[in-house]
Amino acid sequence: MDDAQGTPPRRGAYEKGVRRRREILDRAIEVFAERGAEGTSLRAIGEAIGVSHAALKHYFSSREELLIEVYRAAEERSIVEDRPPAGVSVVGIMTHAARRNHGVPGLVQLYSTLVAGALEEGNELSRAFFGERFALLRRFLAERVEAEQAAGRIRPDIAPEAAAALIIAASDGLQTQWLLDPRIDIEKSLELLEGLLGR
**Interface residues toward a second copy, by CB under 8 A:** 35-39, 108-109, 112-113, 115-122, 127, 130-131, 134-135, 138, 158-159, 162-163, 165-166, 168-174, 176-177, 179-181, 184-185, 188-190, 192-193, 196-197, 199
Give the shortest CB-38-to-a second copy separation in angstroms.
5
- d(C-alpha 133, C-alpha 72), whole Å: 10
Give the nearest distance from C-beta 195 to a second copy in angstroms.
Answer: 9
Please name the residues in contact with 190: beta carbons below 8 A apart, sequence gap of 6 or more: 91, 94, 95, 98, 170, 171, 174
- How many C-alpha atoms does 82 have within 13 Å on its Cβ side? 14
Nearer to a second copy, 18 or 159 (CB): 159
To a second copy, the closest distance from the beta carbon of 182 in angstroms equals 11
- Residue 44's contacts (CB-CB under 8 Å, 6 or more residues apart) are none
Nearer to a second copy, 73 or 168 (CB): 168
